[in-house]
Every structure is written in structure tokens, then in C-alpha cells.
Amino acid sequence: MRSGIFSIFRLWVVVVLAAFVLSCNSDGYQDIKFGGMNGNVQSVTVTHREAEVWHVNERGTDVMYKERSSYDMDGYEISSARLDPEGHVESEAENIFENGVCLRSSQKVNGRVVACLTLLEKKKGQLEYNSELNGRIDRMTVKKRSFGRRHKTTVIQNGVVTSISVMRTDRDGYPVKITETDAKTGSKIIQVNVYDESHNITKKSVTMDGEEKDQIVYTNYSGFDGKGNWTEARTFNRNHLPIEILEREIIYW
């Protein structure tokens, strides 16, 4: 997520509805940054720091931004936020679950609600929501179908298909490939993940319409807590240059 209304708008218009639905997912899938987590996790804070080679010291800190997520006892993400280097919230999201079903999900930027999903009706393999974006309310239908390790989510607004998300998982349920398509324009974003034996991401690539947008060739994990979850890592690009340093603080129930 980027700070600013226009970034949120672009996110929603293209594929964010599918991504927003994933964050409000009754299947329990969560996009754990750079890997899975052992134990009953209550919250995670990830600090993104510049690698030493990029230090300019103009800002007086090597912290670029922070990400924070909180989970309920069943492992559903009930809140997430992006913070600036000083710890001020830039954008945030909140989800309300009941019996594994997301009743409401809202997105805020600079403290202002810019997007909201409210559950109206639940059917088998289908959820009906009111979708509110900047004051405009639309009817949104979310259809989910699973075929083995292939999971398809179709988002329909006011009777028109707007986005399709297809997620392929490994035998343990971790996503190895996520394809998000804007049904109106055909624009496509593909994310591919490669994991180690502990399901920490060692390689990740993101392409948009065939153009590479982000690629992490490998991740070096150098710190772990008592439950075996990583607490420090470094990411590198295809030229083996460091991208960033990640520090992760985990609080357990």
C-alpha cells in the first residue's frame, strides 16, 4: 500500500477488490510477509530498513516504513497498517469476523475511511457485500471456487465481473502463484513465491502485463525466535545487491 488517496483508488480500480476480499477471507488465507508463522500469533510488526549500501543519511534514519498486523485467536487478520519511519499510521485496514466469516472490512488513509465492505448475505460459495468507495455504494458479489490446489475468486460489481483472482497453493496450502486479472481491461498481475522447508519465502517475483515490477532473487534469514519464526532477514535482487533489511517483532497469544 502507498499513502495517498490516488494510490488507494488505483489499487481498487485495477485489482484491489480481489486483494481486499482476500484480507477478508473466510478461508483463513493470510499474506504473511515473507513466510509462514508458527504458534498462535497475536501481532506482527515488520520494520523495513535500507541496506547499508544505500545509506545516504539525508533522512537521519535508515527506516523506510513499517507494517503491522493483528490477528484473532483463530488466526484471522483483524487489522493491518502501514506506518512511516516515525511510527505514524499512513494507511490501515480493519476486519470484523464472526464464525470465520468476514462481516465488515474497512480501509483508511490518513484516518479517513475511503473504502468499506459490509456483508449482506452469505450463500454456499458466494458472499454478497455492499461496497463503499469514497461515498459511492455498489453491490458486490464474491464467488469462490476451489479445485484441489487451485482457488478462484471472482468479484462482481452491479452484475458485471470486475476482477478474477486465481491462487495456486502447495500441498500445505501456501500460495505459490497468484494471478489477479482486471476483467474490464485484461490487465494482469502475477506473483510467484518460492519457499524453503520452513515455508519462508526465498524468492518472489511480481509482474504486471508481462513487465517485471518486483523481484527478490533470494532472502537470507539470520535471526529466529523460540518458536522458530524469523526475526531478521535481508533481501537481494537478481544482481545480488541488497534490497532491504527486515526486522520482525512477533507477539503471541
- Interatomic CA distance for residues 180 and 151, integer angstroms: 12
Domain ranges of the chain: 5-252
What pLDDT was estimated at residue 60? 53
What pLDDT was estimated at residue 28? 42
CA dihedral over 232, 107, 253, 172, signed as positive or negative: negative
- Interatomic CA distance for residues 190 and 204, integer angstroms: 10
**Cβ-contact 214, 207 below 8 angstroms:** no
C-alpha cell at 32: 504473511
CA distance readout (Å), 237 to 52, 203, 209, 232: 15, 10, 20, 17
Residue type, 182: D
For every one of its 253 residues, what pLDDT tens digit does the chain have, with 9 covering 90 and above?
333 333 333 333 333 444 455 556 544 434 445 556 788 899 999 999 988 766 555 555 689 999 999 998 888 889 999 999 999 999 999 999 988 888 999 988 888 888 898 999 998 889 999 988 877 899 999 998 999 999 999 999 999 999 999 999 998 888 999 999 999 899 999 999 999 888 888 888 889 888 877 677 778 898 899 998 999 999 888 888 888 899 999 999 9
